[in-house]
């Protein structure tokens, strides 16, 4: 996190490279999929406000964080408030009930991508109704555990339609925007990533059963190592950290 090190990262160059890679991947995407230009979410976790501002000044607007405290701190950072007035924060981590108010109170919060239970949806619906300043809805995505790994958060693929239906019918303060998965790391790319295929299949089912237009349901999937592949398989939003901001220090445990 030292500033000396941050200065070595050429954010503008990295952003340009990633955006070019996104454009190239869009051309390879199957023509059967909705032809949506994918949104780039710059994942800034552990990185300082100075780098976020650099990315913003290079044209980036959507940023992702996976801890509530860190998102809230950055969203309330004086420099960011002054220089990044149109910033859009994506919450992409596990959300605990006791952190909901702090998250919802963060200026510039754009979407909560990790709703994985009716209880969390109900809590967000209730609290957003109290906290919001205008009659806006809170954008949410439903997080799916596509890899079946117990340690991963997200709802089982078989339960997705039911949860989406619950949000649409019973959570008037929430706006359902799409499905999100983290998936398995280090997938070897020899065949289409099964996590991405599963998420696309979940969307298919949601749209058929709830009579929704596939173009209206986003797929948030793909990170630094596999965002191009994710786009080929239909990602409409990719979450890229390392390739833009440089490597993060390894986790301690």
For residue 165, what are its two tokens? Answer: 């239906």
| Least CB distance to ligand PLP at residue 248 (A) | 7
Which residues touch 111 (CB under 8 Å, ≥6 apart)?
A: 88, 90, 91, 138, 139, 140, 141, 177
Stretch that binds ligand PLP, among 100-108, 145-153, 157-165, 234-242 (CB under 6 A): 234-242
Out of 84, 223, 233, 235, which residue is the one contacting ligand PLP (CB under 6 A)? Answer: 223
φ, ψ for residue 71, nearest 5 deg: -60, -45
If the CB atoms of residues 125 and 220 are measured against ligand PLP, the closer one turns out to be: 220
What is the three-state SS of 76-143?
A: CCHHHHHHCCCCEEEECCCCCHHHHHHHHCCCCEEEEEEECCHHHHHHHHHHHHHHCCCCCCEEEEEE
The DSSP symbol for 14 reads H
Question: In 3-state terms, what secondary structure has residue 159?
Answer: helix
Compute how many residues bind ligand PLP; rule: CB under 6 A: 12
Closest-by-Cβ residue to ligand PLP is 241
| Least CB distance to ligand PLP at residue 9 (A) | 13
If the CB atoms of residues 25 and 173 are measured against ligand PLP, the closer one turns out to be: 25
If the CB atoms of residues 15 and 173 are measured against ligand PLP, the closer one turns out to be: 15
E runs forming strands in 123-222: 138-143, 174-180, 218-220
Provide the mask over 162-201, with x wherever binding to ligand PLP is found by CB under 6 A and - wherever it is not. Answer: --------------------x-------------------
Residues numbered 43-82 forming contacts with ligand PLP, rule: CB under 6 A: 43, 45, 66
- Cβ proximity of 161 and 209 under 8 Å: yes
If the CB atoms of residues 126 and 247 are measured against ligand PLP, the closer one turns out to be: 247
Q: Which residues bind ligand PLP (CB under 6 A)?
A: 43, 45, 66, 92, 182, 223-225, 239-242
């Amino acid at each position: 996190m030292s500033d000396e090190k941050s200065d070595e990262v050429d954010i503008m160059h990295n952003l340009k490279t990633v955006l070019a890679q996104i454009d190239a991947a869009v051309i390879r995407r199957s023509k059967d999929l909705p032809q949506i230009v994918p949104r780039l979410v710059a994942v800034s976790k552990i990185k300082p406000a100075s780098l976020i501002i650099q990315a913003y000044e290079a044209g980036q607007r959507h940023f992702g964080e996976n801890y509530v405290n860190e998102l809230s701190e950055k969203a309330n950072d004086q420099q960011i408030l002054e220089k990044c007035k149109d910033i859009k924060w994506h919450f992409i981590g596990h959300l605990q009930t006791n952190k909901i108010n702090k998250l919802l109170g963060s200026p510039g919060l754009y979407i909560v991508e990790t709703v994985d239970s009716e209880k969390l949806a109900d809590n967000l619906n209730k609290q957003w109704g109290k906290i919001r300043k205008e009659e806006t809805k809170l954008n949410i995505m439903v997080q799916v555990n596509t890899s079946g790994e117990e340690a991963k958060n997200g709802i089982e693929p078989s339960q997705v339609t039911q949860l989406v239906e619950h949000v649409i019918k019973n959570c008037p303060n929430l706006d359902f925007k799409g499905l999100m998965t983290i998936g398995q790391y280090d997938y070897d790319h020899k065949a289409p990533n099964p996590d991405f295929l599963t998420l696309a299949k979940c969307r298919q089912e949601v749209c058929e059963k709830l009579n929704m237009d596939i173009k209206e349901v986003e797929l948030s999937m793909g990170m630094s190592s596999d965002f191009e592949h994710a786009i080929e398989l239909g990602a409409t939003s990719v979450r890229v950290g390392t390739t833009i901001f440089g490597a993060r220090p390894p986790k301690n445990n």
